[in-house]
Amino acid sequence: MVRPDLTRSQMLLGAFNNAVSAVLIAAALMAILRRFVMGKPLSVHGLAHLMLAPACMLTWYAAVIIGIGIRNGSLGTGFNVAPFPAGALVWQTFQGFFVYTAAAAVSYAIHFAQENARLRASLRALDTRVAESATDETRPSRILVKDGAELRTIDLDDIVAVRARDDTVEILTGPRNYTARSTLTQFATRLPETFIRVHRSSVVNLNMIHSAEPAGDGRLSLHLTGGHTLTTSRAGARLIRDRIS
């Protein structure tokens, strides 16, 4: 307390003045630290704290002195406020140091949290690029299928479509068809992005579609290389339209 004869209302006004000025000074301090200090070398941090800490304490002390003048009704007649007694001055200085430390700690916490979020986002993007690159590099350009008693390789670019047949798949190419023992879902993982699953039982190579026409109920009838024709589901038709547009 500055004076022992303060009324209850004066005490409340003093506390309000103290708290509001502390919040405003802390907000300004945090803005300065984040704008001019964060991300700089350690030497800049040290110099900034040596300058800002006493400035924070003195600014708050001056704000409280002015607030006391306003509280005492001297705004219209001029300020006539005596400095704090020694004990109160020491306590105010300690509070100023605490406010500065708290504001700086919050600023560093926000800064490091934001940097951590940026780093995590960069790592996720890098992981995605690495996974996509690895998928492109490891996916073969040819597959091996059984042709009667023989094994034959087929270029993926030559495949027109793949249809499910019980526990096998039928691979449609220009010259002829082949059969492989696999589910359609398993086989589709070996195909590049030019292949779209247009039906639960068929996958089509977009590069092999000559034309498409409505087949009713939102479906499409696809006319493919080699005279093949497949009908899509409604979901498959939407995928075709999305890829074409």
pLDDT score of 133 more than 90: no
Q: What is the pTM of this model?
A: 0.44
Mean pLDDT across the stretch 235-244?
85
Per-residue model confidence (pLDDT) at position 155: 87
Alpha-carbon distance of 241 to 90, in angstroms, equals: 75
Mean pLDDT across the stretch 18-33?
84
Supply the angle between the helices 8-32 and 86-138 in degrees, to the nearest 10. 40
Q: 49-108: per-residue pLDDT in tens?
A: 888 888 888 887 777 777 766 666 655 555 555 566 666 667 677 777 888 888 889 888
Per-residue model confidence (pLDDT) at position 22: 80
Per-residue model confidence (pLDDT) at position 161: 93
Per-residue model confidence (pLDDT) at position 128: 66
**Class (C level, CATH) for 142-244:** mainly beta
Alpha-carbon distance of 83 to 144, in angstroms, equals: 92
Provide the residue ranges of all domains of the chain, joining segments of one domain with +.
8-136, 142-244
Mean pLDDT across the stretch 31-52?
87
Q: 160-191: per-residue pLDDT in tens?
A: 999 998 888 899 987 788 888 888 988 888 88
